[in-house]
Structure 1
């Protein structure tokens, strides 16, 4: 569809499922039985009619060439995105050349949605360009707003420094007795100061107090990092420009991407969601085949709903990305795409576990608040380590422990099964808590296996 004879794999289609229930329900609809009127186009669309319970078929369309990744529509009442019918249609299409006919023209009901969808995307791009120009129409007003916000953040950071000093003066043991209310009050003060980054870190402190054996040590470490961020903001004029930009980002001052657009074939290394009571954040790791650059694209959605951006692991897309400001920052904005994502056999070059740890240590010089860095490990073996697991180099010289969250994920067993006791290539995030595997490849040529 996307290229003559090139289709997604089953794993790539199932990677779009918002939850395990949808994955199971979509799998049941991945055969030709419930479908009629199916078709696909070279422009990147698949459509079909799925038999419904009331005798009225559901009209389903999937657009894998959408500028935000993959878009769906279905006449069923489900609020999930994608619904089980869209997943089933993708699974049917991924089954091979004869599974969904290649049609030159979509039916009217599919064509109307596709035209409207792509028309809106074109309008949004035009509005975004116009908005960028309008934003600079009154630079003096923008400067005054920025100064007022900086003053509020400075007042908040100064107050936070005093609260940290009071905590250390009274002793960390008191933090376990005061309860979460004091931390939430302090976080609310940082929100009032328009410093959401500081507020988030204060809430993390509240979660650490009394959280289990060794909590005072963890609390002291996080207090030190928060103090460092406070001091960085209060003395930002004395910092190098790139580090000052990182401090602004960590405090919560968002700025648009300022790097020149970089066009490349971007391999989708991993995609997973992080949720809190108010927001779902989708993290998508991309790797430029020619530039050898790894970039993080974020997409957001309301709590309980998947974000719009959907890029299945193992695909590659010809697109532009623009970097956000800040020393050592990996975040980038996904720009214009010059074609739909297509399967690829490319995988990033890997390093040893020792080199991965050294890479994280080096990155901390640019961003001391960095939780982890993206790393591809080559030729590592999943090995039990007491009650936990580690990834050891094939020669057994060094190893990286897996993070506690990684050992609790079902993806660990997919990794162990793929390895079978032999070496594999693994992409993941390497940080002070250990290594979190996100995607793996067999040592021999083979498809990417998502682990999250």
Structure 2
């Protein structure tokens, strides 16, 4: 691809930032002043950035890696990408000649690029299960032993839920998070990470404000349903049984691989004390499918995988069975992210709610589904906000999380009372807008 074809906009560069502070700091470095020795070519951008020390920071960004854009910088930052990588990409995106096309990168950049692509090639040559035993009988025995542990864990969890309800939900508030932390540890021992994660989430509900007993009861009911799904999985339809296995965190065989031009719809992070999770939504131009890519980073560190909102990448994704069919893994990329003229097809608010209801039949534990709303207007509803279909009385309320984000005011400003196209997550708590487009031509505007 030519240099011009992969040129990004400033907004697409900043969509890679791990947090608001990085966006601000990167923006301050997006001019030629602190940079020297900058260059680009073959999907790579590099440069030297003057810092507080005597030596400039060596910064290189790989836009064409098989696992997505990645960067390397000699600065001490633990964020990915760091402010220097963002600043370098902003300078490159300006297209004013400050980052000229060069024949080849300098040695320090080439060394990192060669190592990165060699590691990527090694990963691609590995076949599923190659690290384990080739003995199918041994694999069967391991699967049986794990199933027995999961069954024991689910049975124990059922007893703990029954004890909680007999003693009253008020005991959950009195005993604090320790009750759930110890129960989650037991589920980890039972090799059921999905159960452990849901149990940990219960621990935060008593401190979540007014109405927490009802929310705790709802989550306990869903956890009980998942327990019962596993304990009676032999009676379930194959598709629902696969979903139960996926929700428990058990490995699944099969699935499908799809190569397409995937438009990056949204990217945002959620974090707890131990882990940062990055969620990236993409939409296939040919397949029409919307998929979720997950990437993880240790506490305090942003995940490495980062894709620019509004660009499209030619790539192959793999989707395992179960879990609603939306979660996928990025397998191989065939070209750097490039500008895209297409958008996902939109729907009405009423149809979005109906789609979520239909999805719950296949996955009762589904919090939300990806939806693109066409021709909607953000309007206030007392102290709340909602997205209303233009010219109708139908609307979807925004979630509490959406109402507290700065992106809400960005959406209101983009609309100005005029219909816009909005991509987001639609669930039982409402709609969370993640990206918006003005009517007609216009770049994607991240809202998260």
TM superposition score category, shorter chain reference: over 0.9
| Closer/same/farther in 2, CA of residues 3 and 178 from structure 1, 3 Å limit | same
Map 1:45-444 to 2 at 5 A: 45-126=44-125, 128-129=126-127, 132-135=129-132, 137-209=134-206, 211-255=208-252, 258-326=254-322, 328-444=324-440
* Paired positions, count: 448
* Distance in 1 separating the partners of 2:302 and 2:326: 23
Gaps of 5+ in 2: none
- Secondary structure at the aligned position of 1:48 is classed as strand
Gaps of 5+ in 1: none
| Closer/same/farther in 2, CA of residues 176 and 82 from structure 1, 3 Å limit | closer
| Closer/same/farther in 2, CA of residues 252 and 54 from structure 1, 3 Å limit | closer
- Secondary structure at the aligned position of 2:129 is classed as helix
Tell me if structure 2 keeps the 8 A contact 1:74–1:85: yes
| Closer/same/farther in 2, CA of residues 384 and 324 from structure 1, 3 Å limit | same
Displacement after TM superposition at 1:210 (Å): 5.9
* Distance in 2 separating the partners of 1:75 and 1:208: 42
* Distance in 1 separating the partners of 2:243 and 2:163: 27
Displacement after TM superposition at 1:331 (Å): 0.6
| Closer/same/farther in 2, CA of residues 415 and 239 from structure 1, 3 Å limit | same
Tell me if structure 2 keeps the 8 A contact 1:208–1:215: yes
Name the TM-score, length of structure 1 as normaliser: 0.95
Tell me if structure 2 keeps the 8 A contact 1:380–1:425: yes
Tell me if structure 2 keeps the 8 A contact 1:180–1:206: yes
| Closer/same/farther in 2, CA of residues 80 and 133 from structure 1, 3 Å limit | closer
Displacement after TM superposition at 1:419 (Å): 0.7
1:31 corresponds in structure 2 to 31
Displacement after TM superposition at 1:20 (Å): 2.1
Tell me if structure 1 keeps the 8 A contact 2:18–2:302: yes
- Secondary structure at the aligned position of 2:39 is classed as strand
- Secondary structure at the aligned position of 1:103 is classed as coil
* Distance in 2 separating the partners of 1:59 and 1:172: 56
- Secondary structure at the aligned position of 2:115 is classed as helix
Tell me if structure 2 keeps the 8 A contact 1:267–1:314: yes
* Distance in 2 separating the partners of 1:35 and 1:185: 52
* Distance in 1 separating the partners of 2:135 and 2:90: 51
* Distance in 2 separating the partners of 1:427 and 1:20: 21
| Closer/same/farther in 2, CA of residues 118 and 210 from structure 1, 3 Å limit | closer
- Secondary structure at the aligned position of 1:261 is classed as strand
* Distance in 2 separating the partners of 1:6 and 1:169: 61
Displacement after TM superposition at 1:315 (Å): 0.8
- Secondary structure at the aligned position of 1:190 is classed as helix
* Distance in 2 separating the partners of 1:185 and 1:110: 47
| Closer/same/farther in 2, CA of residues 33 and 230 from structure 1, 3 Å limit | same
Tell me if structure 1 keeps the 8 A contact 2:349–2:373: yes
Q: Deviations over 1:240-273 (max 9, x none)?
A: 11110110111221336x3232111000011111
Tell me if structure 2 keeps the 8 A contact 1:345–1:447: no
Tell me if structure 1 keeps the 8 A contact 2:222–2:365: yes
- Secondary structure at the aligned position of 1:209 is classed as helix
Displacement after TM superposition at 1:77 (Å): 2.6
* Distance in 2 separating the partners of 1:332 and 1:243: 18
Name the TM-score, length of structure 2 as normaliser: 0.96
- Secondary structure at the aligned position of 1:106 is classed as coil
> What value does the CA root-mean-square deviation take over the aligned residues?
1.7
